[in-house]
Each structure stands twice: as structure tokens, then as C-alpha cells.
Amino acid sequence: MSQSVVTMLKNGQQYMKTWPVRKELYAFFPECRVVAATKFAIKTMPPVAMVSCALLFQNLGADYLPQTIAIGAFFLSLPMQGLLWLGHRSDQYLPPQLKSWYQEIHAKMRAQGVNIASAKAKPKYKELAQLLKTAFDDLDSVFTKHWFN
């Protein structure tokens, strides 16, 4: 089930928007750090690439144009690497421990009366992200503290 690069980038953007970046989740999931780093890279790397290319071209001249372009391309590729990782991760199935945790949280949320989609038999990380986002957005802090503290 391989995806194209463009599909993985789009999935990564969607996953980045869906994943709840909360302090309670930092210890359990690398997504929080990757999302924060990718958002930072999206904002900062294009200007860094422009400045580095301009300075290199000004100081070294046209003789080093291939190296200047390579350095600019490197800086521009950093946000894409984060999006590719997120896109790949969102399409992976949950391991057995997380799958049972997902089903347990889903059942508790249903019992609380939260209107959510039915639980998947083989959930992926994107379903977990949606469930956690709903839990943090719609439920009170007492419920979420029970699960993450």
C-alpha cells in the first residue's frame, strides 16, 4: 500500500492539523515534537534559504552557484521531511497496545454521550488523532486528566 509523495505530503498536512499538540501527549507520542518542529520549519526555512543563498552568491559569486542552489534546496526540504514523516505515520496501523487504548477511550467517550464515528476494527494513527482531538475539544478536563495523568 505505497503512496505517492504528493499524497503523503497532503496526508501529513491533514494529520498535522488534526493531531492535538497537548502537553499531556508529549511523553507518549513523537507526533507532538514533529508537528511543532514542522510548523516552525514551514515558517522559518524559506527565509533562511533565501538569505543563505543571497549571502553565498554575494560572497562566492556565480562560480559556486550549484552549491548555493543545493544549500537553498536543503533548507527548503526540511519542512517537507516533517510532512512526509507525518503522512507516513498517519497511514500506519496502531500497535496492539495503542489499539486497545483507542478502543477503551472510544467506548468511554460513547458512554459519555459524545457523538463520534464508530470504532474501526483496525485503527490507524489518523483515527487516533481524530479521537484524541475530539476528546480534548469536547470533553472536560476531568475526563482527559484521568487518561493522561
Residues contacting 38, CB < 8 A, separation 6+: 12, 16, 79, 82, 83, 86
**Length of the chain, please?**
149
- How confident is the model at residue 67, as a pLDDT? 96
pLDDT in tens, 106-131: 988 888 877 888 888 899 999 999 99
Q: What is the pLDDT of residue 116?
A: 83
Task: Categorize the per-residue pLDDT at 7 as very low, low, confident or very high, splitting at 50, 70 and 90.
Answer: very high
Give the pLDDT confidence of 31-71 residue by residue, as tens digits.
999 999 999 999 999 999 999 999 999 999 999 999 999 99
3-state SS, 66-122, equals HHHHHHHHHHHHHHHHHHHHHHHHHCCECCHHHHHHHHHHHHHHHHCCCCCCCCCCC
pTM to 2 decimals? Answer: 0.85
Q: What is the pLDDT of residue 148?
A: 61
pLDDT attached to residue 145: 59
Q: What is the predicted pLDDT for the residue at 34? A: 96
**CA–CA separation, 12 vs 85, rounded Å?**
7
Evaluate if residue 24 carries a pLDDT over 60: yes
> What H or E segment, with its residue span, contains residue 144?
helix 141-148
